[in-house]
A and B are shown apart, each in its own frame.
Chain A
Amino acid sequence: DIVMTQTPLSSPVTLGQPASISCRSSQSLVHSDGNTYLSWLQQRPGQPPRLLIYKISNRFSGVPDRFSGSGAGTDFTLKISKVEAEDVGVYYCMQATQFPYTFGQGTKLEIK
Chain B
Amino acid sequence: QVQLVGSGGGVVQPGTSLTLSCAASGFTSAKYAIHWVRQAPVKGLEWVALISNDGRHGNYADSVRGRFTVSSDNSKNTLYLQMNNLRVEDTALYFCASELWGSGYVDYWGQGTLVTVSS
Q: A51, B107: Cβ atoms under 8 Å? A: yes
Chain A contacts with B in 45-78, Cβ cutoff 8 A: 48-51, 54-55, 60
Query: Which single residue of chain B is at the shortest CB-CB distance from A31?
Result: B104
- Residues of A contacting B84 with CB < 8 Å? none
By the criterion CB–CB under 8 Å, are A100 and B44 in contact? no
CA distance A85 to B50 in the complex (A): 34
Bound form: Cα–Cα A54–B113 in Å:
25
B47-A101 in contact (CB<8A):
yes
Q: Which of B62, B105, B111 contacts A55 (CB 8 A)?
A: B105
Contact yes or no, A49 B95, CB < 8 A? yes
From B45, B62, B105, B107, A103 is in contact (CB under 8 Å) with B45
Inter-chain contact A48/B105, CB cutoff 8 Å: no
Majority SS at the chain A contact face: loop
B54 on interface, CB distance cutoff 8 Å: no
Is A35 an interface residue when CB atoms closer than 8 A count as contact?
yes
Tell me whether B47 and A102 are in contact (CB under 8 A): yes
Considering only CB atoms and an 8 Å cut-off, how many residues of chain A contact the other chain?
A: 25
B77-108 residues at the A interface, CB under 8 angstroms: 95, 97, 99, 103-108
Q: Contacts A49-B95, A101-B35, A102-B47: A96 and B111 contacting too (C-beta < 8 A)?
A: no
Interface residues on B, range: 20 to 34
**A55 contacts which chain B residues (CB < 8 A)?**
104-105
What are the interface flags for A69-112 relative to B under an 8 Å C-beta threshold, 1 for contact and 0 otherwise? Answer: 00000000000000000000000101011011111111000000
**How many whole Å from B3's CB to the nearest CB in chain A?**
12
- Residue A22, interface by CB 8 Å: no
Cβ 8 A contact of B47, one of A37, A97, A103, A106? A103
Min CB distance B113 to A, Å, is 11
Determine whether the beta carbon of B44 is less than 8 Å from that of A103. yes
Given A48-B110, A49-B95, A51-B107, 12 more A-B residue pairs with CB atoms under 8 Å apart are A35-B104, A37-B105, A39-B105, A39-B106, A48-B95, A48-B112, A51-B106, A54-B103, A96-B99, A96-B105, A99-B50, A100-B62
